[in-house]
Amino acid sequence: MDVLEISKKILHEGPICDHCLGRQFAKLSTGLSNRERGQALKLALVLEGDRIYKTENDDSLLKELAPCSVFARKALGIEGEDEQCWVCLDQFKKLDEWADEAVKALEGLEYSTLLVGTKVSGLLSENEEMLWAEAGTAYAEQLKSELNREVGKRISEKVQKDVDFENPDITITLDLAKNKLDLQLRSVYILGRYRKLIRGIPQTRWPCRKCKGKGCERCNFTGKQYQESVDELIKGPVVEAFQAVDTAFHGSGREDIDALMLGSGRPFVVEAKSPVKRSTDLEELMRNINEKAAGKVEVREFSFTGKDMIETLKSSKADKTYKLKVTFKEPVSEEKLKSSLDALSGIEISQQTPMRVVHRRADLVRKRHVHSIKLDELTDEGYAYITVNCEGGLYVKELVSGDEGRTNPSLSGLLGISALVEDLDVVNVDI
């Protein structure tokens, strides 16, 4: 079936606008808009219809064209206006309206790129499926694709910003069913490192165990198990700097609540959600965070990054260095302690999920390497200060205690004496 015959079949369904008719042949002939294709097809059909009318006295084709073609109406000598397109319900008459509404919504926002998307109503989807059933889809373009392009082009011209199909700062969604538009502001991502300088605060927000975050007497109606976290100490200045709705914290692993994070700090990404601003002085932002954290947390090495860095942090197996303060149930000689530590250095450790976390993690046996472990000091009081460099994911406390045989080998097992980590500090995360 040729192009004109297909066009006639489409017309049998009812009045159709130039955009929707031309859109069925969008993949034919470059350098034309769908509107121009539709206009050309209608004009060709009017010429054919007028020929048939004059030679055969058959005006049926012109009458089918008349509700959507001024030239068909002229050939028939009748007045009137184009009727509503049965496919798009005249969405293409609203292109400038959508563009003007979007420009207004974008006022005050900081962005460099944009993209338009369309949420098509059920009725319009059904109409398009009916059209495809008649015309086929070999050369067609979707309704929403043309709307995205035409509205996007108009907005881009008005605001002098580029369209970005891969990673736009702002996505504008046209909701045709609700006749409204929504803005999705792409998050801003900042890579940095944090040092946790006090014990007793978690990395991220913890909901109260009793009320699950709803608020109760136990948590003083805050909904939080711990009133502060590294996440929250960083959040406030970030929200303020970017005028963001909220933040999300993505760390490269985490330390225990009672552990310090020292040395160069732990890598993390803070995500500023739905930001009004997309740029800020990162040095000033770091100063603000450190000032407000008041010696509890310190951030450093801020830089802008992309969303893909989160996956890099989560998937990387970073080596870690810890400093431990270890206590013993019985006195231990320096010679025996050094000998036991030497036996742990450079070997693979078998660890069943520790009893302290097995309630929230799968009970599995994991293999992790100790790269090195050495004695820094054995005090007269019987404390040992030990430095451990190991593969990420090793449970260091259990490496010392043995966790009742769930970690093997262990320092306690090699000594034959119960040993426990009293203090644990993370001094380096090598990613």
Residue 412 near residue 332 (C-beta atoms within 8 A): no
**DSSP readout, 98-165?**
HHHHHHHHHTT---SEEEEEEE--HHHHHHHHHHHHHH-SSS---HHHHHHHHHHHHHHHHHT-EE-S
Taking CA 294 as the corner, what is the angle to CA 291 and CA 298, rounded to the nearest 5 degrees?
Answer: 75
Residue 396 near residue 328 (C-beta atoms within 8 A): no
Please enumerate in sequence order all residues whose Cβ is within 8 A of that of 367, keeping only pairs 6 or more positions apart, or say none: 348, 349, 350, 351
430 part of the active site? no
Among the options 18, 50, 231, 256, which is catalytic?
256
Q: Give the span between the Cα atoms of 317 and 251, in whole angstroms.
A: 13
Q: Give the span between the Cα atoms of 208 and 358, in whole angstroms.
A: 19
Cis amide prior to 409 (ω within 30 degrees): yes
Single out the residue of 203, 189, 187, 190 nearest to residue 429, CA to CA: 203
For β-strands 170-175 and 162-163, DSSP reports them as unpaired
Please list the active-site residues: 256
